[in-house]
Amino acid sequence: MSGHSKWSTIKRKKGSADAKRSQMFSRIIKEMMVAVKDGGPDPETNTKLRLCINNAKGANMPKENIQRAITKADQEKTGIQELTFEGYGFSGVAIFVETLTDNNNRTVSFVRSIFTKKGGSLGTNGSLSFLFDRKGVFTIPAANVKSMDDFEMGAIEGGAEEIEVNDDTIEITVAMEDFGRMQKALEAMEIEVENAELRRIPNDLKPVDARTAMKVLRMIDDFEEIDDVVAVYHNMEMTDEIMAEIEAGE
């Protein structure tokens, strides 16, 4: 998980802020539409939708955009659905791709094409499930935490398995079944969350060299260029040495 987070941080620094913002808004809107489809348009009774709205606010999405997406999803009964893909990239690195799509054939074609062109192989659903654990991850601006001791105590009571403090953010990892419990704990502490989501965390990391890492990360970049793709996960062991080599070679 931490290795993929580091790479995401590098890309955020180097990528276009406006493009990333637009892509994030598109993803959040799709997630809201699926949430409305599954549980209705009322965030008070639809926990999944409430989470999406909180993430939208954390991304500074305008209120009118949020309401427009909810209204559209409720009126049009969107055909967007979740699809996942599992396979292997260069040197047998495990790759897990999550998508939200309104056209299954299009998405399958795009994803399969990247696996093929980048020397990987698309597997069957469930073939890599044993390599990843589903965890809840909460990202909090460090400035929102006034007392670190009180915060850590409350987070532990909320089920925190790991608390990672970075320069300007704090990440809390919890078991999937403790996701709602942590939400309530943070609300009780009046801590505003920048983003909260379920991620697939590799439980068995694969050692790689910098060359392999770069090939796989370029493959991940290609996946993330697909509008339907929500998230991409890998099981590479991204050491500080490898990260340094990658940054030096950019």
What is the H or E stretch that residue 246 is in? helix 240-249
Report whether pLDDT(14) > 50: no
Q: Which tens digit of pLDDT belongs to each residue from 153-173?
A: 999 999 999 999 988 999 999
The size of the chain, in residues, is 250
List, in order of start, the domains of the chain with CATH numbers: 15-76 (1.10.10.200), 131-202 (3.30.70.980)
- pLDDT, position 240: 86
- The residue-averaged pLDDT of 74-96 equals 88
Q: Which of 198, 188, 205, 194 is nearest to 242 (CA)?
A: 205
Reported as half-sphere exposure (CB side, CA atoms, 13 A), residue 117 has a value of 11
Quote the tokens at residue 100: 């939200």
Report whether pLDDT(17) > 60: no
* Ramachandran assignment for 133, one of left (phi > 0), alpha (psi -120 to 50 degrees), beta (any other): beta
78: number of Cβ within 10 Å: 18
What phi, psi does 138 have (nearest 5°)? Answer: -110, 125
Report whether pLDDT(12) > 60: no
